[in-house]
Structure 1
């Protein structure tokens, strides 16, 4: 038994309900509301060796992934396996994108086709690898045998007709009625987030393209400030509502709950991550000259700084406004390079600096309070000297955040979306992601070891609903990239050099052919990839073979106890079958039955009977002698 299994069993013994053999301790709930959390302590010796080993390796081996699984559980193991597979697959589009950037330029149809096919191959191969890892780690199908959630509220108990056990259930119809609330939630999220992003987008276009007054270089950052302050607040409100809605849907198991919550979160992430690029690509560039004259409404944002109305006056004619085709490319570069660097800093560097800063501030406040006198002694002051170092370590780790692997998976899936949807705009997108993900793998390992409590090693046999998100983005990318190639293929403006002259039927035709090419390629690749052999599948076949061999040996052992049916090498005839049946009957029949079954056929029985009769009759010579005497 590996370490992750031992820790998981211990955790379940502590937290599972008493009805299934656990202690029923639920942190921050019910009678256990004073229990903050339950977690295992870090193995700092292993953590140091882990980080040191990874810092000197270019690629992770299957043994490295097995080690993660043995230490942190299958759920985290699947995340690192996915990120490693994604990183390895990025080598091909990175090389292709670099060549396209050098020789083909932007919005290359060749690169778009290659990238779409790559997306299909990657998603289908990951399904294959995911199945292989589940077999390798022995967790295939574990999602169907989970224990009920502590928060699950059954409506009734039913008796299983097969096992006779009572099972707590919740009516599927009632849950479906609750799930229908996702429709108005999605509509409200799209309207609220879309309105905020569109408003900030319009203000940014107005200031950068129309406004010509003072402080323009400063005011151009106003939309960014509005988004960075208002968008997280609004997203947080919607996230809390999505969590409460998922709680209301009342799922039995943790995997079902996470799957439902992930779908809602994907909608929010999709809007906040991709909507600005969609607005620029499909609204600003094609219809910018028609929309800009109506952007005077945003003049209120800069009116206190303008010297006169002329500085805020939008062009009255479309011909007076010039579209900036480089705007879209700069936007994609920001999301795929700058935003990735900022995210790394916010994920690893800022939390560490903040935690160290809080520790210093706390020490300074404690020192000042001690000098002033009258300060209450801390809990650490009452520690036994022999336990002081250990308890300090426990308190330090208890103050850390709880690691959620779904946050890192969400980050990778959103990144994949930029590649699948918009990389044709700037072909160096996969190059940026290749470099970022090499660092990301090591940064996540450091984050788990240093900035987070040791995760509970949960089992899993998949990355969950994020796999569906990958497939959806791959399909949408086949549509998006074909539309982008059609709209911007001619020097970033359009096929005719004028966005207003773009033909709608041409756009729809390119999207139609691209989508059907994607569906055909996906069908062919989905048939081909499962035929690839793998160690996990070989192990599964070997186990099935050993099971069949064991059953065969047991059956053969039982067969050897039965009398032989026929001689080796003999021909199978009617007479031989009758002889075998006769031998079998002799072994189990009564004495009378043995007597009558010793003969093979009725003719033999007749001959033997005739012999008995003849032997019973008197001899003819004796009869003649008796007659003469008379």
Structure 2
């Protein structure tokens, strides 16, 4: 993520230079008509222009901002409610699939539960995205931003927060909460005292996490490509069909000038490239935040972007009207969002490796409890007996249903014949301490490497920096020569002696 952002800054510098925007500064933006109409009665002198203009009082601005923030939290709570509904479905489906008549589904009931849950979750995500866009428009207009750029930044931040939480909340649940509070045999925790909480797959939670990410990423990319290209195609086809119904033949349409043909295409979105930026930023987060759990995500994103470049080119040239150009020296608020995602990715991957995966338990067993104790980890034989060490024992007679014998379950608890039955063992606390230590060390190490990479890669390429300095030098020389020539002419005109080089 850091390398990507640093090279983007270099690319931005090149583009800014090529389009002659190095010294370009945004002019004083005009006020939005909605802002002027709302606050036309309250005026103050603009410190830049020195002219009176409408002004939004601070109490009014604060109250509107608080309402907007409350709306954001309400929508985020709605997302969490949807995730909870999916969790309840998984609990109910788990019970039904485990007792299903078909042997195949009964055997692989965990995959059936996860697969159907992912599909339902994806449909909920796409449905709520439509609602979020309407709410984001409403909340942004409620704030009455002063200028158009302030409106765009506020709307972009809301859309990112809504869709990021909507897209990743179920993934965070599977990565860090699934199976953590299920309890143990004889004392399972149940939801509403009826449904037993779901546990991870016997091979670990990474399987469920990988399945969730893979299905959502593939389906979302397919849906986005359809909406970007397929939907305008359908709209244009319907427009042509309506024109035929009105009696306008294809021969007449062919004779139309090109600008009129372009006018019959679909107009660009009201918020310009907002959807394109949002899609790329969400994809960037998807490929970095949980890359330790789903290493295939960057490859899928690369393949999708290679295809989408051509689809976007076809869409802009043949399906959309030509957009209105506008000057910009950077990508605005999106760069700050990308930097925030990069920081979040370091923290999230540290927790995925330490908590979700079995790396730390294996490491602790190899060095502390395995056959290679005090000898150093050298080969796979040091993990011999790891599975048996990670399983605890439960006495079936405690169920009171006539069973006898023992069963094994995945946890670090004392056996039933110990002085403290079913309490956490010393190995559990060793693993927990190792996990916390790994998170701290990993985060500091990666943040250090991140800062070092950012320091090593200059924001402006050296050849571009030399060209800019050369241009600045030539401009200074031209100004000096012009001033020198002007002074010499003045002195010659006045009959004064002058030096051939100094005025």
Instruction: Give the TM-score normalised by the residue count of structure 2.
Output: 0.70
**Quick check: 1:242–1:261 contact (8 Å CA) kept in 2?**
yes
- Please give the alpha-carbon distance, in whole angstroms, between the structure 1 residues aligned to 2:467 and 2:8: 19
- Please give the alpha-carbon distance, in whole angstroms, between the structure 1 residues aligned to 2:275 and 2:157: 13
Are positions 1:516 and 2:399 aligned together? no
Residue in structure 2 matched with residue 597 of structure 1 by the alignment: none
**Quick check: 1:325–1:493 contact (8 Å CA) kept in 2?**
no
**Quick check: 2:9–2:459 contact (8 Å CA) kept in 1?**
no
Residue in structure 1 matched with residue 398 of structure 2 by the alignment: none
Are positions 1:239 and 2:133 aligned together? yes
Are positions 1:556 and 2:438 aligned together? no
- Structure 1 unaligned spans of 5+: 1-118, 300-312, 367-377, 570-583, 585-630
Secondary structure of 2:30 counterpart: coil
- Structure 2 unaligned spans of 5+: 366-389, 391-409, 413-427
Distance 1:387 1:323, change over 3 A: closer
Residue in structure 1 matched with residue 220 of structure 2 by the alignment: 339
**Quick check: 1:149–1:254 contact (8 Å CA) kept in 2?**
yes
Residue in structure 2 matched with residue 545 of structure 1 by the alignment: 473
Distance 1:400 1:240, change over 3 A: closer
Residue in structure 1 matched with residue 350 of structure 2 by the alignment: 482
Distance 1:565 1:403, change over 3 A: closer
Q: How does 1:185-204 map to 2 (within 5 A)?
A: 185-204=71-90
- Please give the alpha-carbon distance, in whole angstroms, between the structure 2 residues aligned to 1:213 and 1:277: 27
Distance 1:565 1:343, change over 3 A: closer
Deviation string, structure 1 residues 293-346 (Cα, Å, up to 9, x no partner): 4456598xxxxxxxxxxxxx7489x89988665212222222344432343234
Are positions 1:432 and 2:316 aligned together? no
Tell me whether 210-219 or 149-158 shows the greater mean CA deviation. Answer: 210-219
The structural deviation recorded for 1:481 is 0.8
Residue in structure 1 matched with residue 7 of structure 2 by the alignment: 125
Are positions 1:454 and 2:322 aligned together? yes
Are positions 1:280 and 2:156 aligned together? no
Residue in structure 1 matched with residue 233 of structure 2 by the alignment: 352
The structural deviation recorded for 1:439 is 1.2
The structural deviation recorded for 1:473 is 0.9
- Please give the alpha-carbon distance, in whole angstroms, between the structure 2 residues aligned to 1:551 and 1:168: 42
Distance 1:315 1:134, change over 3 A: closer
The structural deviation recorded for 1:244 is 1.8
Are positions 1:256 and 2:150 aligned together? yes
- Please give the alpha-carbon distance, in whole angstroms, between the structure 2 residues aligned to 1:211 and 1:348: 39
**Quick check: 1:120–1:474 contact (8 Å CA) kept in 2?**
yes
**Quick check: 1:179–1:249 contact (8 Å CA) kept in 2?**
yes
Residue in structure 1 matched with residue 208 of structure 2 by the alignment: 327
The structural deviation recorded for 1:431 is 1.8
**Quick check: 2:183–2:189 contact (8 Å CA) kept in 1?**
no
Residue in structure 2 matched with residue 265 of structure 1 by the alignment: 159
Q: How does 1:302-451 map to 2 (within 5 A)?
A: 314=196, 325-353=206-234, 355-356=236-237, 358=238, 362=242, 366=245, 378=246, 380=248, 393=261, 396-397=264-265, 404-451=272-319
Distance 1:422 1:228, change over 3 A: closer
The structural deviation recorded for 1:462 is 1.4
Instruction: Give the TM-score normalised by the residue count of structure 1.
Output: 0.57
- Please give the alpha-carbon distance, in whole angstroms, between the structure 1 residues aligned to 2:289 and 2:253: 60
The structural deviation recorded for 1:209 is 6.7
Distance 1:516 1:565, change over 3 A: farther
- Please give the alpha-carbon distance, in whole angstroms, between the structure 2 residues aligned to 1:398 and 1:513: 53
Q: Which of 18, 26, 29 does residue 146 from structure 1 map onto? A: 29
Residue in structure 2 matched with residue 601 of structure 1 by the alignment: none
Secondary structure of 1:483 counterpart: helix
- Larger relative CO (CA 8 A, sep 6+): 1 or 2? 1
Q: How does 1:27-176 map to 2 (within 5 A)?
A: 119-140=1-22, 141-143=24-26, 145-153=28-36, 154-155=39-40, 156-160=42-46, 164-171=50-57, 174-176=60-62
Tell me whether 384-393 or 281-290 shows the greater mean CA deviation. Answer: 384-393
The structural deviation recorded for 1:284 is 1.0
**Quick check: 2:174–2:209 contact (8 Å CA) kept in 1?**
yes
Residue in structure 2 matched with residue 625 of structure 1 by the alignment: none
Are positions 1:183 and 2:69 aligned together? yes
Residue in structure 2 matched with residue 10 of structure 1 by the alignment: none
Distance 1:457 1:182, change over 3 A: same
- Please give the alpha-carbon distance, in whole angstroms, between the structure 2 residues aligned to 1:298 and 1:348: 49
The structural deviation recorded for 1:564 is 5.5
Residue in structure 2 matched with residue 507 of structure 1 by the alignment: 435
Secondary structure of 1:158 counterpart: strand
Residue in structure 2 matched with residue 83 of structure 1 by the alignment: none
- How much is the aligned-residue C-alpha RMSD, in angstroms? 4.2
Tell me whether 492-501 or 204-213 shows the greater mean CA deviation. Answer: 492-501
Secondary structure of 2:44 counterpart: strand
Deviation string, structure 1 residues 423-480 (Cα, Å, up to 9, x no partner): 1113222222222211121111112123322211122121121111111111011111
Q: Which has the larger helix fraction?
A: 1
